């Protein structure tokens, strides 16, 4: 019996116009740093925290389509989850229709020591409500900057800030996805993050930003978290 695959609809503001996207699949690309030595150092640091080393680098993690969250609020279970700014690719009805936005790869860090893929499944993936056409910002790609803040003890504290050149080049990411035989159309891909300023912080909220210094434009996504643990 053939099982049909349903599409989830998400909406984004593109050049001040509302556009809907039918999404069939969502992926996170892990360990996608451009500096191989620093990636290895990061993997070793995580191993000291009990997080298993990936079988390959980069590493592709499929996540549930229903994880996409644009509500500005998410529920978690436990006090060891955290977000991080990710550059996100949105594919329309063809591989050539590509948009760029920012999201947060919110992850259960406790479960991450047991199974990284499962740790990504249990948390929603907040994402901005705005996106840029890739064709309009590709010339500025190396200038794009990811920033984030974490809400802790009632104050917003800087958490990340670095150019996306810390992530693999866009062409390399796209080639990697194609080599993995990922069907890009109708998909959302969390393509990579930049280093944390001072290690994991389990906050009450996160604000992630993708900034284009050339045009002085930014896309932001902020959200609060509620721990359901009694």
Query: 17-39: per-residue pLDDT in tens?
Result: 999 999 999 999 999 999 988 88
What residue has token string 């695959």?
Answer: 5
Q: CA–CA distance from 97 to each of 73, 89, 144, 193 (Å)? A: 29, 10, 20, 22
Give the integer Cα–Cα distance in Å for 192 and 31. 7
- Model confidence over 68-111: pLDDT tens digits? 999 999 999 999 999 999 999 999 999 999 999 999 999 999 99
Question: What is the model's pLDDT at position 38?
Answer: 86
Give the integer Cα–Cα distance in Å for 4 and 11. 23
Chain-wide mean pLDDT for the chain? 94
Report the length, in residues, of the chain.
230
Question: What is the model's pLDDT at position 5?
Answer: 58
Kindly report the number of other CB atoms within 10 A of residue 76's CB atom: 19
Stretches where the chain sits below pLDDT 70 are 1-6
Residue ranges covered by each domain of the chain: 8-227
Question: What is the model's pLDDT at position 1?
Answer: 39
Question: What is the model's pLDDT at position 6?
Answer: 67
Q: Is 160 exposed, middle or buried (0-12, 13-18, 19+ CB in 10 A)?
A: buried
- Taking Cα atoms as reference points, which of 57, 83, 51, 19 lies closest to residue 167? 57
Q: Is 25 exposed, middle or buried (0-12, 13-18, 19+ CB in 10 A)?
A: buried
Question: What is the model's pLDDT at position 49?
Answer: 79
The answer as to CATH 3.30.420.40 being correct for domain 8-227 is no
């Amino acid at each position: 019996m053939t099982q049909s695959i349903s599409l989830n609809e998400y909406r984004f503001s593109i050049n001040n116009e509302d556009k809907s996207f039918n999404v069939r699949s969502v992926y996170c690309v892990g360990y996608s740093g451009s500096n191989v030595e620093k990636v290895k150092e990061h993997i070793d640091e995580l191993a000291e925290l009990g997080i298993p080393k990936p079988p390959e680098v980069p590493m592709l993690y499929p996540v549930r389509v229903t994880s996409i969250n644009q509500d500005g609020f998410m529920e978690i279970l436990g006090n060891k989850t955290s977000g991080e700014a990710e550059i996100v690719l949105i594919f329309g009805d063809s591989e050539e229709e590509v948009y760029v936005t920012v999201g947060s790869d919110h992850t259960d860090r406790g479960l991450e020591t047991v199974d990284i893929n499962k740790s990504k499944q249990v948390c929603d993936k907040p994402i901005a409500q705005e996106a840029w056409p890739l064709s309009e910002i590709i010339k500025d790609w190396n200038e794009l900057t990811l920033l984030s803040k974490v809400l802790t003890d009632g104050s917003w504290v800087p958490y990340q800030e670095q150019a996306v050149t810390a992530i693999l080049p866009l062409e390399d990411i796209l080639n990697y996805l194609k080599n993995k035989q990922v069907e890009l159309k109708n998909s959302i891909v969390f393509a990579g993050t930049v280093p944390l300023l001072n290690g994991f912080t389990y906050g009450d909220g996160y604000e992630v930003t993708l900034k284009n210094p050339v045009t002085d434009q930014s896309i932001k996504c902020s959200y609060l978290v509620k721990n359901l643990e009694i």
